[in-house]
């Protein structure tokens, strides 16, 4: 009996559908080669177009519809014509929060053949995993807008750092560092954020006592941003808050091949709800519909999905296939200096998987 993985696909807006279909192509190839499992994809047409027709990004019972899937595979949401805070909050953040996907895993690894703007950095010196808090913090959505439109207007955006939320992400990161036998770096800002980040640092210290075998470091976020560029080899496993993680992983993407190559997984570690896999880039309206979007980020996130299902060997093989395509260099999209289209890059990766051992 074949294992069937039921995947909910939200291709979304702009280049979302273009890149997602290449990820599907690649994992279908994997399933065909493996023979012991297959994927069953169910497509949900949610996003900005759906919003313009229905006044909402997804139906009211959207989360219930997704609940029974093994995973969610998402392209990108957001498009001119719908305010970004609506598209983000009514779909992506609803899923991340509603399904308690409190861990955001963003690998920052300079794959072979990937372009890197840094001089004097060798390939193995950029190899980290950023573990971003994904459920609260600065993106908790708490705050107020007082005296709107009046001269004495006041806006409050409150960070929410619960003990449960802070401890569980830090503990998850320590477990990962122990498992991988790597150092763990906490990125915070305790000097200026005198409640939230002092608390974060305190919890990091507390939890670290349970892991004397894990080497730890702690940086202020501004210094960390500098070191990402100057000395990226300082970082192995990184744990940080929702906002800081959002920003530094775009920086991480920039030093490890660009947005077209950066993947992210939104994990519910208890597996009580489906986890969600997505490229970290947006819908790229400037190139949407031209067939030139780079599908490698979404293919990488599909490989994270295979890791999550316990097929790490296949996950690695997908990355190796991507590396071969980049090293050969003749089937790449324009953002990587090539002339190939989205479809051709997906085909090339699927083909390489077949020949790699």
CB 128 within 8 A of CB 252: yes
Three-state SS at 268: coil
Beta carbons within 8 Å of 278's beta carbon, 6+ residues apart = 73, 74, 75, 76, 263, 264, 265, 266, 298, 301
Task: From the list Mg ion, ligand NAI, none, pick the one residue 70 interacts with, judged by a Cβ distance below 5 to 8 Å according to partner type.
Answer: none
Residues between 48 and 87 with contacts to ligand NAI, criterion CB under 6 A: 76-79, 84
Please spell the DSSP secondary structure of 270-310, one letter per residue.
T-SS-EEEEESS---TTTTTTT----HHHHHHHHHHHHHTT
Q: Shortest approach of Mg ion to residue 310 CB, angstroms? A: 28
Q: What is the DSSP letter of 11?
A: E
Task: From the list ligand NAI, Mg ion, none, pick the one residue 19 interacts with, judged by a Cβ distance below 5 to 8 Å according to partner type.
Answer: ligand NAI
Indicate the residue whose CB is closest to Mg ion. Answer: 246
**Contact call for residue 306 and ligand NAI (CB under 6 A):** no
Site string for ligand NAI, 4-43 (x = CB under 6 A): -----------x---x------------------------
Q: Where are the alpha helices (DSSP H) in the chain?
A: 16-34, 48-54, 62-66, 84-87, 93-98, 163-180, 196-208, 221-230, 242-255, 296-308, 312-328, 342-355
Closest CB to ligand NAI among 56 and 218?
56
Task: From the list Mg ion, ligand NAI, none, pick the one residue 347 interacts with, judged by a Cβ distance below 5 to 8 Å according to partner type.
Answer: none
Three-state SS at 242: helix
Query: With the C-alpha atoms ordered 332, 334, 337, 338, is the resulting torsion angle positive or negative?
Result: positive
HEC states along 110-146?
A: CCCCCCCCCCCCCHHHCEEEEEEECCCEEEEEEEEEE
Stretch near ligand NAI under the rule CB under 6 A, chosen from 64-72, 232-240, 279-287, 299-307: 279-287
Site string for Mg ion, 153-182 (x = CB under 5 A): ------------------------------
User: Which of 260, 274, 338, 346 touches ligand NAI (CB under 6 A)?
Assistant: 260
Count the residues of the shown chain that bind ligand NAI, applying the rule CB under 6 A: 23
Stretch near Mg ion under the rule CB under 5 A, chosen from 114-122, 219-227, 244-252, 309-317: 244-252
**Contact call for residue 246 and Mg ion (CB under 5 A):** yes
Stretch near ligand NAI under the rule CB under 6 A, chosen from 133-141, 155-163, 235-243, 292-300: 292-300
Separation of alpha carbons 335 and 337, rounded Å: 6
CB 280 within 8 A of CB 265: no
User: Which of 335, 345, 346, 352 touches ligand NAI (CB under 6 A)?
Assistant: 335
**Contact call for residue 138 and Mg ion (CB under 5 A):** no
**Contact call for residue 294 and ligand NAI (CB under 6 A):** yes
Closest CB to ligand NAI among 95 and 187?
95
Q: What is the DSSP letter of 336?
A: G
Applying CB under 5 A, the residues found at the interface with Mg ion are 246
Applying CB under 6 A, the residues found at the interface with ligand NAI are 15, 19, 76-79, 84, 88, 92, 259-260, 278, 281-287, 293-294, 297, 335
């Amino acid at each position: 009996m074949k294992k069937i993985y039921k995947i909910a696909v939200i291709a979304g807006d702009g280049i979302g559908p273009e890149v997602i279909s290449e990820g599907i192509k690649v994992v279908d190839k994997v399933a065909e080669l493996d023979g012991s499992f297959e994927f069953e994809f169910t497509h949900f047409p949610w996003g900005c177009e759906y919003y313009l027709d229905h006044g909402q990004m997804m139906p009211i019972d959207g989360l219930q519809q997704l609940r029974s899937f093994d995973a969610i595979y998402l392209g990108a949401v957001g498009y001119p014509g719908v305010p970004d805070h609506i598209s983000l909050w009514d779909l992506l953040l609803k899923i991340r929060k509603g399904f308690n996907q409190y861990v955001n895993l963003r690998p920052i690894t300079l794959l072979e053949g990937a372009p890197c703007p840094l001089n004097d950095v060798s390939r193995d010196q950029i190899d980290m995993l950023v573990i971003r808090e994904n459920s609260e913090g600065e993106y908790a959505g708490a705050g107020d807008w007082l005296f709107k439109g009046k001269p004495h207007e006041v806006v409050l955006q409150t960070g929410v750092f619960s003990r449960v939320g802070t401890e569980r992400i830090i503990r998850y990161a320590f477990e990962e560092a122990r498992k991988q036998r790597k150092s763990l770096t906490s990125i915070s800002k305790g000097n200026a954020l005198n409640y939230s980040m002092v608390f974060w640092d305190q919890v990091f210290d507390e939890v670290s006592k349970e892991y004397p075998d894990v080497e730890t470091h702690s940086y202020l976020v501004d210094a960390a941003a500098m070191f990402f560029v100057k000395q990226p080899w300082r970082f192995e496993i990184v744990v940080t808050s929702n906002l800081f993680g959002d920003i530094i992983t775009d920086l991480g993407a920039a030093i490890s091949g660009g947005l077209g190559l950066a993947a992210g997984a939104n994990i519910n570690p208890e597996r009580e709800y489906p986890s969600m896999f997505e490229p970290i880039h947006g819908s790229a309206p400037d190139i949407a519909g031209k067939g030139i979007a780079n599908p490698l980020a979404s293919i990488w996130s599909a490989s994270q999905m295979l890791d999550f299902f316990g097929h790490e060997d296949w996950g690695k093989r997908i990355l190796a296939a991507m590396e071969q395509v980049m090293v050969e260099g003749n089937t790449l999209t324009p953002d990587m200096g090539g002339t190939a289209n989205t479809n051709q890059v997906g085909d090339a990766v699927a083909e390489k998987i077949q020949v790699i051992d």
